[in-house]
Amino acid sequence: MTIPPLSSEARPGLAPGVRLAFDKARDQWVVLAPERVLVPDETALEILQRCNGTRQLDDIINELASAYSADRSEIEHDVRDLLASLIEKRIVIA
Amino acid sequence: MSAVRTLSPPLAALLELTHRCPLQCPYCSNPLELERAKGELSTAEWMRVLDEASELGILQVHFSGGEPAVRRDLPDLVAHARKAGLYSNLITSGVTLDQPRLTKLAEAGLDHVQLSMQDVDHQTAAYIANYPGVQGKKLAFARAVREVGLPLTINAVINRHNITRVERMIDLAVSLGAGRVEVAHAQYYGWAIRNRAALMPTLAQVQEATGRVEAARERLRGQIVIDYVLPDYYARQPKACMGGWGRQFLNITPSGEVLPCHAAQTIPGLTFESVRHRPLADIWARSEAFETFRGTDWMPEPCRGCDQREVDWGGCRCQALAITGNAAATDPACALSSAHDALRALADTASSEPPPDFVYRRMSPQDSKAALATTTG
Ligand code: SF4
Ligand code: SF4
């Protein structure tokens, strides 16, 4: 089965059982999930912090594009890539 | 080796709150010598351990056992873990928790539930757990978990009695609303090694099951995460047991002994320290049991010169001991180990004969009386 691409109105959020937390001992953000600890890089963290289940994908992309004054289509590509892989791992749901 | 080195803190701790359990699985990872209830850490002691764990840098705690829910203070411990900033997972057999108690755990901040499954077939499930009606109770429990809104992982332990139904176990996990299923071949430590012949599937069965798991993974992509744990006896490369000895995990027994892995007490000559007598951070950094096999200095050939030595860390010490009699040997699951063929022969012989009866997990008669007295008292 292939996963269909997200609609731009989708509202991605962390899956149940997944938390974003700051790890004081290692001075970094971590994603805590069942039997898994992931360390997001800077871009992934910026994206994940905006995935709260209420913001629309479109708005998340716009926000990031203006925050980084970057090309919107490039940002969109990065965001969709990351979310697709995290949805497959059930870290994110949309 | 230099005198100063940096040691990372562990990521996760397995907390064996008790060895008491209503089930008697013949592959239970608990030691043959089960600990009695009266030696268990108190609520206050466990709370202190949770605080120490969090300060040390541990991120996730697994409340395990035995059956952790036989401890009445479980909701208080979960709440305390939450307060300490820890991610908490409950590893349960699901037969003692009803919906009101589950709701309490959810309210206390439990993050995730992992339910063990013996089979999809009710009769075999009851036979494996030595507990009539076990499957019905587990199904009801799994539904209750989803009703209170907790995320669920199903942990299916694969052995020769259920291996032909591996796909149905995955489908059952999907239908129960689990986000993840762990399909794990029995690991031969603890009670499982005692029951090896009664549990061991043939190579052909393992290959067939592996194919089915891979097909299910493709078919269910995006619906459920499938983690597959291969059986060591048919492997060519060992697992990085515990992510490497003393690198990522620690295990605390009901009475507070801190172990690098749950089977470490089988290794003769290692001394373990208790959270009752020493801070957890000290035990992690300096106790002899953790230092003995940490890193690569202890390694013999072929591990010492192998480019995989910091990938699999030489495999499992307890398996090396169980098969070769030497805990410091290369894990026989590795094709480069001189005991590799012997390991494989053990599996082939065991699986080609009809299965003997199970030796069910239980306390020695004297112990079980003591445990019952404490439970009902
Ligand atoms: S493996 Fe079975 S007997 Fe052992 S603790 Fe788990 S449910 Fe109880
Ligand atoms: S020789 Fe040792 S380090 Fe190399 S693959 Fe085998 S177990 Fe791992």
A94 pLDDT tier (thresholds 50, 70, 90):
confident
Which two tokens mark B102? 């589950």
Question: Helix, strand, or coil here: B223?
Answer: coil
Which pair of structure tokens corresponds to residue B282?
A: 């000290």
pLDDT value for B142: 97
Predicted complex ipTM: 0.86
Centre of ligand 1 from the C-alpha of residue A68, in Å: 52
Pocket test for ligand 2, best of B310, B330, B337 (most atoms within 8 A of CB): B330
- List of E strands, chain B: 12-16, 60-64, 87-92, 112-117, 152-158, 180-185, 225-229, 249-252, 257-259, 273-274
Ligand 2 in contact with B298 (CB < 6 A)? no
pLDDT digits (tens, 9 = 90+) for A2-54: 667 888 889 999 999 999 999 999 999 999 998 889 999 998 999 999 999 99
B111 has a chain A CB within 8 A of its CB? yes
Q: Decide if pLDDT at B1 tops 50.
A: no
Taking CB atoms and an 8 Å limit, are A90 and B85 in contact across chains? no
Q: From residue B70, how far is each of A75, B9, B65, B75, B209 by CA, in Å?
A: 51, 30, 9, 11, 34
**Rounded Cα gap, residues B368 and B33, in angstroms:** 11
Rounded Cα distance between B264 and B7, Å, is 21
Give the whole-angstrom CA distance, residue A40 versus residue A28. Answer: 9
Which stretch of A4-8, B117-121, B257-261 has the lowest confidence by average pLDDT?
A4-8
CB contact (8 A) between residue A34 and residue B57: no
Q: pLDDT band at residue A69, thresholds of 50, 70 and 90?
A: confident
Per-residue DSSP letter, A7 = P
**pLDDT digit string, tens, across residues B330-345:** 999 999 999 999 999 9
Backbone angles phi, psi at B238, to 5 degrees: -75, 165
pLDDT of amino acid A7:
87
Mind listing the domains of chain A with CATH numbers? 13-93 (1.10.10.1150)
Is residue B134 pLDDT above 60, yes or no? Answer: yes
A16 touches chain B (CB under 8 A): yes
User: Which helix (DSSP H) or strand (DSSP E) does residue B36 occupy?
Assistant: none
pLDDT surpassing 60 at residue B324? yes
Cα B247 to ligand 1 centre (Å): 26
The reported pTM is: 0.92
Write the residue with the smallest CA distance to atom 1 of ligand 1: B28
pLDDT at B375 over 90: no
Q: Which atom of ligand 1 is nearest to the CA of B91?
A: 6
Q: Is the CB of B303 under 6 A from ligand 2?
A: yes
Contact state of B179 with A90 under an 8 Å Cβ cutoff: yes
B262 CA from centroid of ligand 2 (Å): 22
Helices in B109-165 by DSSP H: which ranges? 122-129, 134-147
How far off is chain B from A66, nearest CA to CA, in Å?
31
Q: What average pLDDT is seen over chain B?
A: 93
- Please tell me the distance from the alpha carbon of residue A47 to that of residue A61, in angstroms, as a whole number: 9
> What's residue B363's pLDDT?
80
pLDDT value of residue B189: 87
Cβ contact, residue pair A1, B222, below 8 Å: yes
Atom of ligand 1 nearest to the CA of B21: 8
Q: Is the pLDDT of residue B49 over 60?
A: yes
Of B29-38, B176-185, B227-236, which one has max mean pLDDT?
Answer: B176-185
The reported pLDDT for the residue numbered B54 is 97
Mutate to test the interface with A, among B14, B54, B61, B111 (most CBs of A within 10 A): B111
Q: Rounded to an integer, what is the distance from CA B310 to the centroid of its chain?
A: 23
Look at residue B7 in the predicted model and tell me its pLDDT.
Answer: 82
- Structure confidence at residue B369 (pLDDT): 43
Q: Assign B5 a pLDDT band (cuts: 50, 70, 90).
A: low
Mutate to test the pocket of ligand 1, among B18, B23, B359 (most ligand atoms within 8 A of CB): B23
Nearest to A87 among B218, B219, B222 (CB): B222
Q: Among B236, B308, B313, name the best residue to mutate to test ligand 2's pocket (greatest count of ligand atoms within 8 A of Cβ).
A: B308
Q: Provide the pLDDT for residue A3.
A: 66
Spatial distance between the Cα atoms of A58 and A80, rounded to a whole number of angstroms: 11
Indicate whether residue B257 lines ligand 2 (CB < 6 A).
Answer: no
Mean pLDDT over residues B212-237, rounded? 93
- CB-based contact B10:B173 (threshold 8 Å): no
Backbone dihedral angles phi then psi of residue B373, each to the nearest 5 degrees: -60, -40
Here the tokens at position A35 are 């039997």
Question: Measured between CB atoms, does B57 come within 8 Å of chain A?
Answer: yes
